[in-house]
Amino acid sequence: MEHKHMTITANAKSVGEAIAALSPWSPRTPLHRVTDVTPELLTRLLSGTGGARVEAVELGKGTSGTTDRQQVTVQWNDAGRRDGPPASLFVKSTPSMVTNRLMSAVTGLSRVETTFYKSCRPGLHNVPAPRCHFAEYGSGARHLIILDDITIDGVRPCELTEDCTLSFAENLMDTFAALHGQFWETARFGSDLSWVAPLSERVGFRALAWQFRRMRTSLTERPELSLPDEVHRMCEFVNAHDRELYRRWERGPRTLIHGDTHLGNTFEPADGRAGLLDWQLVHRAPGLREVAYTLIWSLPVELRRQHESHLISRYLDGLAANGVTDPPTYEQAWDDYRFFAFDAWDSIAFGVAWPGMQSVETVEAGFHRANAAVADLEVSEALASYLN
């Protein structure tokens, strides 16, 4: 009964957020546009001495998606420059396109990322992520997040179109182990981290599950895609049993996961570690979901085949090193890896079913990797084993 109540509440929030996103007015509208980033605001947020003052703000290059993104150059007075304050910032704000604003609102993307930067980022251990100076959220995806511009610190943002190397994949396993180890079955999920929802309680989950069901049916009915037989079997099985599979997903052990760790949401700091960007899909789930999502999304097929076992072992060793006293055995982790492959396939296939979200080359490369992984891992058999 409690689970049903939480689901109804999430659905009601989704509807309310959709209405707010479509409205030109909101009863709770905080600072939510890049034009709200004024010299006065930045002086208040960033000045370290009494005489430091931001004199001007210059808007640089920007993009628009589920959030608007803009580089901002900050011009300080002489007193401010002596303190070595940030001369460049990265601003995320309310999507300017109504369709993007609606999507962000009904899925809670902006609310989740804003809350992460306010409540989790300050206390992260050994997980490279942008430093946040300001984060506020209203309703209808109205939000403003002011971050350090990581590109001026010798950081290399990765591209979704890249092939992940073995060394960077190893660094990602270390980062995942640090993140997941810090929040492994934490009691904080019952207090200040109660907003980190399990999958089925995320805003918009029911609608997304319905879309995935339609997508699997649609793609398996397109002969020109030449899908492997194992992909057909997996899609048929998931469509028949998705509710049970999602329930199995939530049995744990659970931790806080980033939720969208393809290569385009990562960066390489100057110290050679692996960092994470775009924390819009944070939720509560088993850590192996993150591992499967990343290896299937981003590793070339042959590299994954050769090294997936090694990378899973490295992740498990990292959990133990980060204080997890009872991490999964390798056999349990391998079973979970095969299980969560269906979710990685779903996420990649979304771009095939709805073109335009990413470049054609990116979608084709990702879909090839996902289809190969499903076949290699015999995912339908793994899913059936879990239900039995």
**pLDDT tens for residues 30-81?**
788 899 999 999 999 998 767 899 999 999 988 877 788 999 999 999 888 8
* 9 belongs to a structural domain: no
Range of the structural domain that residue 218 is part of: 156-387
Of 164, 129, 174, the closest CA to residue 296 belongs to 164
Q: Are residues 132 and 223 in the same domain?
A: no
Q: Are residues 216 and 190 in the same domain?
A: yes
40: domain CATH number is 3.30.200
Considering 148, 182, 200, which residue would you say is the last residue of a domain? 148
Domain count, the chain: 2
* 288 belongs to a structural domain: yes
- Would you say residue 7 has pLDDT above 60? no
* 226 belongs to a structural domain: yes
Identify residue 288 by its one-letter amino acid code.
L
Q: Are residues 184 and 108 in the same domain?
A: no
Q: Are residues 161 and 74 in the same domain?
A: no
The region of weakest confidence among 71-85, 208-222, 266-280, 328-342 is 71-85
Q: Are residues 100 and 174 in the same domain?
A: no
Contacts of residue 212, Cβ cutoff 8 Å, sequence gap at least 6: 242, 346, 350
* 260 belongs to a structural domain: yes
Helix (H, G, I), strand (E, B), or coil: what is residue 233? helix
382: domain CATH number is 3.90.1200.10
- Would you say residue 14 has pLDDT above 80? no
> Which parts of the chain fold into alpha helices (H)?
2-22, 39-46, 78-82, 98-107, 109-119, 166-182, 205-220, 229-249, 288-298, 301-321, 330-353, 360-377, 379-387
pLDDT computed for residue 44 by the predictor: 93
